[in-house]
Structure 1
């Protein structure tokens, strides 16, 4: 589980963002499984803050569809149901293609070094990966590739859709409904293809590679629909 945010040097805005990111990660890694009740008081104490900013963080998570406020019960983590999230997943597939068209960012050497590190870790994943470690790596890859577009509205929508649907894969993996070794190999091949496209300067190709792999991943999930 991610460590709570305790760095007092952060600004108020940065602390709120860090708390949000930590809780979002816990939800996506199923540290907080669907149905878990999140205590505003307990979380505020854990993060060393008052209830008001924590209430705002939980409200943001609710807007993103990760939690739900139930009258008389409290704040509950929402379910990760593929039928309910199918439209969100399909929208994510289509919008991903736009990252190569709307305000694309040409990667510098530092970005390419980050990508190479992710590829090295993905290669190790094929040998000794777990569903949790793969999900953590996938989240890092998503945030890294998101930097290839400077279009803020597109970034915000893609981020929301990604984290709203991310749990679907992990739920299926834990239930042993997926060929994990094959999943890891496909992921590695995707990153290698993206690297080749970036080195050739073709950002639209990068976007289409991502779109294709997201679509294929979703179709594999649909094969195991309950």
Structure 2
């Protein structure tokens, strides 16, 4: 995200403007990925500018970044539209995500401090609680939050930025297909993933954490393919 910000603003903005940019960006991205804005939704620049209390110029920078990341598209005569997940590109994105996952514990590894470990443990606890009361939206939110925790084990900023971008390109597909899947089983599988990664980071084996993540991305894509055939 930091690298995207520099490209978008040329590094000339104040910290307050940066915080505002990131806040609006994360808010809109989450709305898209949690399907608050379903595919083909038209976003009103006027309404969003009023909601966030800004002019259209900074808003358009945010929308431009989301468009560059494949979450929005500009349609002449229509406006800014939320994109759908491209199933043809899905396989290639998942393949790249698997390869990048291995690198998380290899490139500029950052040994987790107590605060980071507490974050992993909190996410594991949330996942265990979700097994008894599985909810698609809560599951999606936990998945998004866990990604942010996982990215803390690498200090390689380009790797973090690319991994985050690719994740958010694919995450919506799961919410779209919830009617066709066993949510309770998916939550249980994800809880095991968090538990296994937690065990690895607790002993400082960050490479193992990366390999575990890769394996689970691979298995999740295998399950996903069965739902989309």
Partner of 1:157: 162
1:93 to 73, 98, 105: 98
| Cα distance in 2 between the residues matched to 1:189 and 1:82 | 27
Aligned: 1:136 with 2:141: yes
On the 8 A contact 1:81/1:168 being kept in 2, the answer is no
User: Which consecutive segments of 4 or more residues in structure 1 shift more than 3 A?
Assistant: none
Deviations 1:178-224 (A, max 9, x none): 11111111111111111111122110000000011011111111101
| Cα distance in 2 between the residues matched to 1:83 and 1:126 | 32
Deviations 1:121-163 (A, max 9, x none): 1001101120000000111000011111010111110111011
Residue 116 of structure 2: SS of its match in structure 1? helix
Partner of 1:26: 31
After superposition, the CA RMSD in angstroms is 1.0
Aligned 1:47-66 pairs, distance under 5 A: 47-66=52-71
1:192 to 186, 190, 195: 195
For this pair of structures, how many residues does the alignment match? 215
| Cα distance in 2 between the residues matched to 1:155 and 1:58 | 21
| Cα distance in 1 between the residues matched to 2:49 and 2:90 | 30
| Cα distance in 1 between the residues matched to 2:132 and 2:60 | 42
- Give the TM-score of the pair, scaled to structure 2: 0.91
- Give the TM-score of the pair, scaled to structure 1: 0.93
Residue 63 of structure 2: SS of its match in structure 1? helix
Residue 69 of structure 1: SS of its match in structure 2? strand
Structure 1 unaligned regions, length at least 5: 1-9
| Cα distance in 1 between the residues matched to 2:116 and 2:161 | 20
Partner of 1:46: 51
Offset of residue 83 of structure 1 = 2.5
Partner of 1:217: 220
